[in-house]
Each structure stands twice: as C-alpha cells, then as structure tokens.
Chains A and B, each alone.
Chain A
Amino acid sequence: MKKVKVFTILVSLAIFFAFLGIASAGTLDEILKRGEIRIACQTQGAPFSFVDKNGNRTGSSVELTEMIAKEMGVKVKYLNYDWDGLIPALLSRKADMLAADMTPTLKRAMKISFTNPYMYTGSVVFVKQASPIKTLEDVKKSGTKLAVLLGSTGENDAKKAFPEAKLKTYKGGGPLLINAVLAGHTDAGVNDGSAATSQIASFPPNSVRILEGQLSNSPLAFAVRYDSPDLLSWLNLFFLHISLDGRLEQNLNYWVNSLDWKKEH
C-alpha cells in the first residue's frame, strides 16, 4: 500500500513539473513550436476581416496577419467569431491574438493587452436613404431606435451621445445593423466609420446614407493576453517596421481609406 502511495506521489510530481515546463514557455516559443499562430477574427467585418465575393477570407487585418505569419516563419490558423466572441476566444486560450478593428478601451484593457494603435477612426450614424433624419441633432429626439453591435464601442458611443434613444443590440457583425436599418426595424445604426463605409458599399448603391459627424475618436489595435508580453513586444515592433517601410500605409490606403479593394473583392 505504501509503495503504491509513493509511486502515485512521484508520478503526480512528474506530471506537475512537466506542465510547469510547458506553462513557463512564452507564447512566442509556443507559436514557434506549434508552427502556427492562431488568430481570432470576424467573417463579417469589412474592410478588416471578411469573406469576399470569391469566397476567400480577406481584408486589411487578414493581410496584416499574413505578413505577421510570414515574418515569424509560421502558418496562420484563422478562427471565426462574432464581434463579442473575439475577446472570450482570446481569454480562453483558443487564439494567440485577435486581429480586428477593435478599440483599446480601458474596460477591455482590464482583461486583454492591446498593441499600439495602427489607425484611428470614429463612430458614425447611418440611416436609410429615404429617412427623414438628416443630422445628428435629429437622432437625439427621444424614441429614436438605434441598431448597435453587441460589445462594440458603437454601443457605448450611442449610449453616451443619444441617451434618449432606444438601443437595439444585435449579435453578429456590422452588416446585420445595415439590414436592420433597411428593414425598418430601427431608424438608424451606429458603427465604426471605416466599417460602415465599406459594408454599405456591398449593399445596393444609394440605399444607405451616413450622417455628417463622428461621435468619437477611437484608435484601433490588435490584442493579446496579458500572459504574452513577448508576443505583445513583437507585434509592436512589427507595426513600427511596417509603418516605417510604408507597408502599413499601403494596406490602409487600399482597404480603409478608399474603396479600391471593391474592384477585386
């Protein structure tokens, strides 16, 4: 009986130390050992991460992550999530990083670690072309129904800017909000300017109108877990390099600052 007990303790200690060994390896080492980096991204987040008309995953963030994988020398594995599922995926260790047009809010930063921003944008309001709403002031009327995305900065900006309005929160991606506005379920929608402009381009021309004025000024960044300081430093260095050699500007000019990408995707 005593021999079995000692044996069990030794085996448990061995397993414990084995796990300790694995746990103490940094995320970059894990990625290199695995040979692939797992990235959580959306499928409806044009122009950053979406599925184009040819059925291929593409977008600004997707191309940046392809560059990241190439520089690291590993393969990329993309994991699809709704907007509000990105952070839980990262926290539950299903993904090594998330690549989306996410704003590094202080609340989110309590749970995940953001890279330095790679661009700036802001929330805008969009309405149906035929809507009587013409300016942001019109939206402030009480009882206006606004479509927002669950867990997005648009949701918070709308709450702050239009306290009298009734918010309808949708789970999924930006195009759902546009659908809700077009179907008449809501009077207007609130989302990121860069996302709204690109997603509206996929709908019939002149069906949706974006109102003048930004509700907020938000940076956008990628994110990793707090237990991956090595990956965070590497990503910050990566963004520094691609800002210096012009690849970031090229990427943003193609995908975000214009609708050039529409021609091929």
Chain B
Amino acid sequence: MLEGFNFRIIWEYMPLYMQCFAATLWLSGLSLFGAVVVGIIACAMRLSQSRIMRSMAGVYIETIRSTPLLAQLYFFYFGLPSMGIMLPEWLTGVIALTLNSGAYYAEIIRAGIQAIPFGQIEAGIASGLSYFQRMGNIILPQALGNTIRPMLGQAIILVKDSSLLSLISIMELTRAGQVLTSERFTPAEGFLTTAAFYLIIYYLLKAFSGWSEKRLIFREAH
C-alpha cells in the first residue's frame, strides 16, 4: 500500500493541515471548557430540591442524548437563522458541541456524585456541616476522582465529534482531508494525515489524563 503513497502531496498541503490542526484544537478546547461548565450547571439542577429545576435539566439532557449530534448541528446551523439568529459558523459549531457534550458531562458528574456512599453525607450532617460545606469538603473532592476518567473519555469523544463541523464549511482537520481528496483525488493520503493529527490530540489528552489522575484522585476516607 505504501509504495503508491504520495508523501510529496502531503508535504505540499502541510500548511493547510497546520492551520486546520490549530482550528480543531481551539474549537475543541473552547467547546470542552463550555461543556464542563454547562455539565456542572445541568448536574446541579438535576440534583436540586426544586422539581422545576430537575425537570428542566432532565428535558435538556434527555433531548440531547437521544438525538444525533449531526442532527443537532444542522438544526442550529439552518434552524437558528430562520428564527432570526445569525451567528458565525464557528460559534454555531461550538454551541452545538458544548450543548451536546454538556449533557453527557452532567450525567458523568451526577454518576460520580451519587457513587459516594451515603454514609459520608450522614457523617457530614452528624458533624453539623451545611449543604455547601458537605458538598465542598466531602462530596466533591471524592466525586472528582471518580469522574476524571469518564470525563477525559468524553473529551476525546468531543474532539472526534468536532470533525462534523467540517460539514458546515468550517476549516478543520477533517475538512483538510476532504480538500486534499477533492483537489488531488488522493483520499488515502488525505485522511491518513488527518487521522495522524487526531492521534496527536488523543495522546495529548491521554497525557493530561495521566497527570491529573495522580493529582486529583483522593482516596475514600476511612
């Protein structure tokens, strides 16, 4: 397979790939940050005492999890303008990715929090701590350790999902492969290079995951 491989063409298009690599990094990074924030808020709403908060968060999470990201993306891209909201396409893409991953993050964080044995909360109540003191000092530090691995997993999924942004004409890694294919008719070279760049991002995330696991996992109190 590799004798027919045209490395010269990949080298010729390398500036395009570097530009698109930067675009993917910054689109995914922005969406990741937004998704964690949205996830925390949605999770807090989901676990709140108020039934309205719980059902609002529930509707949001269930709608997002039950529909494909591509459908959500096209809905925002073609649907928002028909409601009068005109956004630059990168912002539409970031919003779609943020809302999508935010729902999954809400569930991950909720699972992490609910995995803490109730005995911890009882001990906190018995010691006279308030709700926020219990959350801040007992529950969340332990929950964070539980959720780090699934959160990094979802981050990797978000980076791969960012490839769908190529369909709303955003110049990112997958689009670079598509351009190489349509201009030079070399899909193998084009998409193999795209895959190699995604692999680099994956290894960066994996390294970050390893580092943060060591720092952030607190052993359960005995």
Chain A residues near B (Cβ < 8 Å) = 84, 87-88, 91-92, 107-108, 110-111, 147, 150-151, 168-172, 179-180, 183-185
Contacts and interface: CB of A to CB of B under 8 A. Distances in A.
Given A150-B178, A183-B81, A172 B185 contact: no
Nearest to A83: B182
Contact of B182 (A110, A151, A184): A151
B89 interface: yes
B82 interface: yes
Contact of B187 (A88, A169, A171, A179): A88
Given A150-B179, A179-B78, A185-B89, A169 B169 contact: yes
A92 B1 CA distance: 13
Given A88-B185, A150-B182, A171-B169, 14 more contacts: A88-B181, A88-B187, A91-B185, A108-B185, A150-B179, A151-B182, A151-B183, A168-B89, A169-B169, A169-B175, A170-B167, A183-B82, A184-B86, A185-B77
A206 to B, nearest CB: 18
Interface of B: 77-78, 81-82, 86, 89, 166-169, 175, 178-179, 181-183, 185, 187
A128 B31 CA distance: 32
A172 B178 contact: no
A138 B183 CA distance: 28
Contacts of B175: 169, 171
Contacts, number: 45
B86 A84 contact: no
28 contacts: A84-B178, A84-B182, A87-B185, A88-B181, A88-B187, A91-B185, A107-B183, A108-B185, A110-B185, A147-B169, A151-B181, A151-B182, A151-B183, A168-B89, A168-B169, A169-B175, A170-B167, A170-B168, A171-B167, A171-B169, A171-B175, A172-B167, A183-B77, A183-B81, A183-B82, A184-B81, A185-B77, A185-B89
Nearest to B182: A151
Between A88, A92, A107, the greatest number of chain B beta carbons within 10 A of the residue's beta carbon is seen for A88
Nearest to B166: A171
A246 B89 CA distance: 48
Contacts of B169: 147, 168-171, 180
Contacts of A147: 169
Contacts of A183: 77-78, 81-82
A264 B188 CA distance: 41
Nearest to A92: B187
B190 to A, nearest CB: 10
Contacts of A108: 185
A147 B169 CA distance: 9
A185 B81 contact: yes
Nearest to B87: A185
B155 to A, nearest CB: 26
A84 to B, nearest CB: 4
A82 to B, nearest CB: 9
A184 B166 CA distance: 19
Contacts of B86: 184
Nearest to A170: B169
A92 B72 CA distance: 32
- Pick the 7 closest A-B CB pairs, nearest first: A151-B182, A183-B81, A84-B182, A168-B169, A111-B185, A88-B187, A150-B182
Nearest to A156: B183
A130 to B, nearest CB: 14
B202 to A, nearest CB: 24
Nearest to B187: A88
Contacts of A88: 181, 185, 187
